[in-house]
C-alpha cells in the first residue's frame, strides 16, 4: 500500500511533470528513484501516457494511444526489464532499441522507452544505453526506474533528470536524508551519527591538515561497506549542491557547501564511478585491500587541486 509520503511525492512530481510538459520542456531522460516498485512503475506509465496521448487533457485516458498504453500494447512504447526473474537487462535488449528509436513513430508524435529496473542493466548494457542518452533522437523520451541507484553508473545518472519518491522526506530532500531513516541502534544509523565529523575530516584532508594515511586509518574503524554507502551519499549530495538542486536547509548544509568548494562537477562524477565500482565488488564478495582502496579513493578527491 502506498504510504502518505509516497502519495504526496507522486502528486508533487506529477504537478511538476504537467508544468514542464505545458512548457514543452519534458527532458529526454527521466530517472525515477524510490523504494516502492509499484509506485515508480505506475508513475512511469502515467508519464508515458501523457507523452503519447493525442487528447487535449494529457493523459485523457480515452484516446487510442491512452487505451493502448493501458493495455501495454502501444507500438511507440518500449518496456525493458530483466530477461528473467532475478536476472539482468542485457546489451542485446539495448541494441534492439538502437534501431527502434531512430525509426518514425507509428501512432504518436514520439516514442517512449521505460527501463525498469534500470539498476539491473549489466555494464555492457549501461554503456550501450549511454550512447543513446548522449545523443537522443529529438522525439524519444527515456524513463529509467530504479530502487537502488548505487549500482547505476554516474555517467547514466548525470544524463537524466532525477526525480525522487521519498517515504520519509519531502520531494527534493537531500541524498543524505536517506541516512536519517536508519535508527541509532543500527550500524548505518551509528555511522550516520558521525556525519558531521566525517565531513570535517574531509575538509581537513582537502586543506592538508590531515594526511591520507591518518584519515584512512580513522575511517577504517567503521564497517567498510557501510562507509562506502555514506561516502556515496556524500558524493551524490555534493553533486546536487553543484547543480544547485538541493533547496532544503539541513544541519549538514553549511559544512557540506564549504566542502563542495574544493571540487569540480566532472571530478565528482569520476569519484562516483569509482565508488560504484567498489560497491559492485563488495556486492560480489570480492576480497579487497580496504586500506589501499580507501586511500586511493581519498587521493582521487585531490586530483583536481
> For position 71, which CATH number holds?
3.40.50.300
Do 182 and 141 belong together in one domain? no
Do 128 and 12 belong together in one domain? yes
| Res. 75 pLDDT band, cuts 50 70 90 | very high
Do 210 and 286 belong together in one domain? yes
Do 25 and 103 belong together in one domain? yes
Whole-number Å distance between alpha carbons of 259 and 250: 15
C-alpha cell at 269: 562524477
Do 33 and 144 belong together in one domain? yes
Residue 305 lies in a domain: no
Residue 245 lies in a domain: yes
pLDDT above 60 for 2: no
Residue 169 lies in a domain: no
pLDDT of residue 24: 87
The average pLDDT across 209-230 equals 95
* 29-33, strands of its sheet edge to edge: 77-80, 111-115, 140-146, 29-33, 161-164
pLDDT of residue 170: 39
pLDDT, tens digit (0-9, with 9 covering 90-100), for 93-114: 999 998 888 888 899 889 999 9
In the chain, what percentage of residues exceed pLDDT 70? Answer: 90
Do 28 and 120 belong together in one domain? yes
Number of domain units in the chain:
2
pLDDT of residue 81: 94
Residue 226 lies in a domain: yes
Residue 170 lies in a domain: no
The residue from 133, 164, 195 where one domain ends is 164
What sign has the CA pseudo-torsion 57, 58, 59, 61?
positive
pLDDT, tens digit (0-9, with 9 covering 90-100), for 8-56: 567 778 888 888 888 888 999 999 988 777 888 999 999 999 999 998 8
Name the residue among 143, 147, 179, 161 with its Cα closest to residue 245. 161
The average pLDDT across 139-161 equals 87
Do 179 and 158 belong together in one domain? no
Do 134 and 108 belong together in one domain? yes
Which residue range forms the structural domain that includes residue 246?
175-300
| Res. 245 pLDDT band, cuts 50 70 90 | low
Do 152 and 188 belong together in one domain? no
Q: Which residues pair with 144 in a beta bridge?
A: 31, 115
C-alpha cell at 198: 566525517
The residue from 141, 164, 187 where one domain ends is 164
Judged on CB neighbours under 10 Å (0-12, 13-18, 19+), 81 is middle
CA distances from 104 to 101, 111, 118, 140, 163 (A): 8, 8, 25, 10, 28
CATH number at residue 200: 1.20.272
Name the residue among 153, 147, 117, 104 with its Cα closest to residue 133. 153
Largest separation between any pair of C-alpha atoms in the chain: 65
Residue 43 lies in a domain: yes
Do 78 and 198 belong together in one domain? no
Does residue 285 sit in helix, strand or coil? coil
| pLDDT, averaged across the chain | 86
Amino acid at each position: 500500500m502506498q504510504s502518505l509520503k509516497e502519495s504526496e511525492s507522486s502528486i508533487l512530481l506529477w504537478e511538476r511533470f504537467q508544468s514542464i510538459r505545458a512548457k514543452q520542456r519534458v527532458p529526454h531522460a527521466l530517472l525515477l528513484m524510490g523504494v516502492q516498485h509499484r509506485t515508480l512503475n505506475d508513475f512511469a506509465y502515467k508519464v508515458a501516457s501523457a507523452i503519447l496521448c493525442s487528447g487535449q487533457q494529457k493523459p485523457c485516458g480515452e484516446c487510442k494511444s491512452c487505451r493502448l498504453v493501458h493495455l501495454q500494447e502501444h507500438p511507440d512504447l518500449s518496456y525493458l526489464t530483466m530477461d528473467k526473474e532475478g536476472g539482468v537487462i542485457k546489451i542485446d535488449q539495448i541494441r534492439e532499441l538502437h534501431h527502434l528509436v531512430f525509426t518514425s513513430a507509428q501512432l504518436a508524435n514520439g516514442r517512449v522507452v521505460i527501463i525498469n529496473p534500470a539498476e539491473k542493466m549489466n555494464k555492457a548494457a549501461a554503456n550501450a544505453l549511454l550512447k543513446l542518452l548522449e545523443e537522443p533522437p529529438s522525439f524519444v523520451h527515456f524513463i529509467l526506474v530504479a530502487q537502488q541507484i548505487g549500482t547505476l553508473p554516474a555517467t547514466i545518472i548525470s544524463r537524466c533528470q532525477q526525480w525522487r519518491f521519498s517515504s520519509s522526506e519531502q520531494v527534493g530532500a537531500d541524498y543524505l536524508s536517506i541516512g536519517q531513516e536508519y535508527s541509532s541502534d543500527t550500524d548505518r544509523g551509528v555511522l550516520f551519527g558521525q556525519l558531521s565529523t566525517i565531513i570535517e575530516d574531509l575538509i581537513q584532508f582537502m586543506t592538508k591538515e590531515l594526511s591520507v594515511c591518518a584519515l584512512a586509518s580513522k575511517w577504517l574503524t567503521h564497517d567498510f561497506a557501510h562507509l562506502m554507502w555514506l561516502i556515496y551519499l556524500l558524493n551524490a549530495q555534493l553533486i546536487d549542491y553543484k547543480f544547485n538542486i538541493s533547496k532544503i536547509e539541513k544541519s549538514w548544509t553549511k559544512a557540506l557547501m564549504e566542502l563542495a568548494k574544493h571540487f569540480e562537477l566532472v571530478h565528482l562524477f569520476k569519484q562516483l564511478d569509482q565508488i560504484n565500482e567498489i560497491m559492485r565488488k563488495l556486492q560480489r564478495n570480492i576480497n579487497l585491500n580496504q586500506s589501499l582502496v580507501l586511500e586511493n579513493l581519498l587521493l582521487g578527491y585531490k586530483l583536481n587541486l
